[in-house]
Every structure is written in structure tokens, then in C-alpha cells.
Amino acid sequence: MPAIVLVGAQWGDEGKGKATDLLASRIDYVVKFNGGNNAGHTVVVGNEKYALHLLPSGILTPGVTPVISNGVVIDLEVLFGELSALSSRGIDVSRLRVSANAHIITSYHRTLDKVTERFLGKRQIGTTGRGIGPTYADKINRVGIRVQDIFDEGILRQKVESALEIKNHLLVKIYNRRAITADEVITELMSYADRLRPMVCDTSLELNSALDANKTVLFEGGQATMLDVDHGTYPFVTSSNATSGGALTGSGIGPTRVDRVIAVVKAYTTRVGSGPFPTELFDDSGEYLRSKGFEFGTTTGRPRRCGWYDAPIARYTTRINGVTDFVLTKLDVLTGLDEIPVCVAYDVDGTRVDEVPVNQSDFHHATPIYENFSGWTEDITGVRTFDDLPANAQKYVLALEKMSGARFSAIGVGPARDAIVVRHDLV
């Protein structure tokens, strides 16, 4: 009964989409368990490039059943937009299952996300503006709208009216925006009801039955460990649990089901939006990583902040998620560098610190202590076995592996689907 959880190890955009796609041919179900269309996964299949936001990346593989489980927040316009874009490119999307308990992102959540960010000014989080935070806030506040609510107009009206009561005061009196009427929200949400109904089910029941029947289920995390609302660089995080624990609560399976936890980690580090980032580069090296790694957001197009690999973060990811295997991505981007610095510990106000500090101010003050590794010049994009990698590339990978606390089972050497070196089978 293999249940596999796959999460991001850093601040997102590690290549989770590609890693999921790699495993998809050997799995039966792929589950998106957290986040919403703040995610952006680019998957390259042959000459085709797909950008997925709300749908799990496994949807691209024929025969896989994609699932959006209860932990996700769903923008219905985005959902149907993505589905029709994929089907017009010949992808079969008919098996998609959607949890009756997932929460819905409405127009007032999107509006509130944008106006609160504007209001924060310099202190803004740099959210994707997709309404993620306000929707999860309503969920926790018990005034959210769930998928099942849109099939009963009476219940939907009650819930939308009570959710809007305070929000309209906020929008009009504080943020100087127009009030949103319950009718406009209800009309919009109900316009999707007939198309949504056949996809909706008890996804927890379906996934547990699948595991009972020895099917393989992959739980594909959005965002990443350092963006997790509990374990990330709060408040510069997303509003969901992007770590492996989130796969359990976000889908309704128990911890005893999980056999393997895979973390996807980039051979350097990137971050979008605000917040601390000890190894961030502001010089030509950062520009080099950005342009060579094509580090521009899949969702918002923003240039990603770039920096060297941070080993304490990988070790932290192993601890928080119970990582069994890493997939290292984008090793090819480092080709051509003379020296590759790796952060092995931090200096916090004159003291060496080996682990990610629990105190946020300490993390803000942390400066990296680097160890330098020698680079390589050979093109590695065609390499398919570890032994064929240049000696210095092998040394780099083995050093990162040693510092991370879990084995590096696969190594990405290019964006293409097959540009990967597999050292240990992941399924």
C-alpha cells in the first residue's frame, strides 16, 4: 500500500512538477493536498511545455487519477480554465476527483488579498494575490465556503451573507473599496455547480480504499517547507501546511499509510516574495543563476531571488518532513562555474549556528558560512548515470547528500522529462 508524499525542500519552485511527472507513470493517484493556484509547476513533455497551477502535475500522465483533496483552496474559474486548456491540448481530464470539503476562493478573497497587501506597504508578504491567505483565514475562522455548499442555494446564501457582513465593513470603511453583494458571489459560484457536481466525492474515502486495494498514491505538495505556515519563515509564508504532515490532514489519510517522503531540492536556492533568505546573492552570481536557471515565477512572472545552496535548510527539511529521499534538481544550471559556495552553517551575531534558528530575528540576522566546491565545465544535460557525471559534480552531490541527512535518489540535469539521473528507485 504505497503512499508517497512529495514536498518542496526550500521556498518553492524546486521542480516538484517535474519530479511528480517522473513518478507518474508508476502511480495510480496523484493528490494535491494544500494550497491553490498560488502554485506554478512547469512540466516539459517532449516539445510541449505545460504550466499547471491548481491541478496536480500527475494529470499529464494517462491513466493517473488526479485528486484535489480537502486541504486545497479552489478558485473555480481557474479550475475550469485549466481543465479546458488541458483538454484542448489532448489531455484526458475526465478522471479528476474533487473533495466536497475543499474550500472555495471567492471574489472577496481575491480582493482582500490584494488590498491587505497594499495596506501593508513595506511590510507586505509579496503574496501571489490569488486570495489564498483570506480563504484559509475564513476556513480557520469557520466562515468559509466549501465545495459542497454550492449545491444548496439556501445554505450557500446563509454562508456568503455571514462571511460578507464584516468583510464589507472592512472593504468600504477601511480599504475604500465597493461593497460586494451576496447575489453576485452566489450567482458566480452556482454557475459552476452543474459542471463541478460529477467530480465531487469523499476523496478521503476514495484514497483510503485505493490504498487498501494496493494502489500507489502520490501526494504532491504545493509551495515548500520554508513557506509552511507552521515551520516556514513566518509571517513570510503561505497560509497552508506544505510539509508532509499537511498531506495527512489535507487528504484524510493516517500517518501509518505513508511509506516514503520525497523532498525536491534545487542545487541552489530561490525565493519569490519577501522574507529572510541568508544565501541570497545581489551580485553577478545571482544574476547568473537567474538567467541560466530561468528563475522567473510560473504564476506571477516575478524574477525569483537567487542564492547558493543552504545545507542547514535541507537538514531542517529532513527533520520536519521525515524525508527518506531527495530529488536534487537543476544541477546543470551550475555547469561552468569555477567555484560553487555551499552554506554549511550560519553566523548569527558572531556565533556559529548549525541549524535553522527557531527564533525569527536570529534567522533574519543569519549570514552564511560557506564551504567552496570546485566546479565543472562539461555539459551534463545528456548524462543519465551518476558515474558519468564529472568528478566535481559527483563530489558536489555527495557533499550535499552527506549534509542533508537523507539519500539523494535522483538528480535533475535539465528541464526535459528524461533529463534525470536515477540512483535509487523512488516508487
Residues that bind ligand IMO (CB under 6 A): 8, 11-13, 38-41, 125-128, 130, 132-133, 222-224, 227, 238-239, 272-273
Of 36, 47, 197, nearest to 131 by C-alpha is 36
Residue matched to cell numbers 460529477: 198
Q: Does position 222 bind Mg ion by CB under 5 A?
A: no
Interactions with ligand GDP, residue window 265-304 (CB under 6 A): 298
Query: Which residue number places its CB atom closest to ligand GDP?
Result: 412
- Contact indicator for 360, 234 with CB cutoff of 8 Å: yes
CB of 135 to ligand IMO, least distance (A): 10
Q: Does position 54 bind ligand GDP by CB under 6 A?
A: no
Q: Which of 36, 40, 221, 278 touches Mg ion by CB under 5 A? A: 40
Of 334, 270, 326, 319, nearest to 298 by C-alpha is 270
H-helix or E-strand spanning residue 32:
strand 29-32
Distance, C-alpha 397 to centroid of its chain: 23
Q: Does position 335 bind ligand GDP by CB under 6 A?
A: no
Residues whose CB is less than 8 angstroms from the CB of residue 412 and which lie 6 or more positions away in sequence, other chains included? 15, 18, 19, 327, 328, 329, 330, 331, 332, 419, 420
Task: Give me the catalytic one of 13, 149, 325, 332.
Answer: 13
Q: Please report, in angstroms and rounded to a whole number, the separation of the first and last CA atoms in the chain.
A: 11
Residues whose CB is less than 8 angstroms from the CB of residue 244 and which lie 6 or more positions away in sequence, other chains included? 5, 7, 221, 258, 261, 320, 321, 322
CB of 298 to Mg ion, least distance (A): 5
- CA 206/CA 13 separation, integer angstroms: 29
Q: Which of the stretches 15-23, 149-157, 274-282, 310-318 binds ligand GDP when contact is defined by CB under 6 A?
A: 15-23
Residue (16 or 109) nearer to ligand GDP, CB: 16
Our separate counts of H helices and E strands in the chain read 13, 20
Q: Which of the stretches 6-14, 118-126, 177-185, 392-400 binds ligand GDP when contact is defined by CB under 6 A?
A: 6-14
CB of 1 to ligand IMO, least distance (A): 27
Task: Give me the catalytic one of 21, 28, 41, 138.
Answer: 41
Q: Does position 221 bind ligand GDP by CB under 6 A?
A: no
- CA 407/CA 309 separation, integer angstroms: 17
Q: Which of the stretches 35-43, 176-184, 258-266, 285-293 binds Mg ion when contact is defined by CB under 5 A?
A: 35-43
Q: Does position 13 bind Mg ion by CB under 5 A?
A: yes
- Contact indicator for 148, 101 with CB cutoff of 8 Å: yes
Interactions with ligand GDP, residue window 24-53 (CB under 6 A): 39-42, 44
Q: Could you confirm whether 41 is annotated as catalytic? A: yes
CB of 356 to ligand IMO, least distance (A): 18
Residue (238 or 409) nearer to ligand IMO, CB: 238
Query: Residue 265 has which C-alpha cell?
Result: 531540492
Pick what 238 binds: ligand IMO, Mg ion, ligand GDP, none; C-beta below 5 to 8 Å, kind-dependent: ligand IMO
Distances (CA, A) of 416 to 17, 21, 45, 56, 229: 12, 11, 7, 18, 32
CB of 224 to ligand IMO, least distance (A): 6
Pick what 273 binds: Mg ion, ligand GDP, ligand IMO, none; C-beta below 5 to 8 Å, kind-dependent: ligand IMO
CB of 256 to ligand GDP, least distance (A): 27
Contact footprint for ligand GDP (CB under 6 A): 8, 12-18, 39-42, 44, 298, 329-330, 332-333, 412-415, 419
Residues involved in catalysis: 13, 41
Contact footprint for Mg ion (CB under 5 A): 13, 40, 298
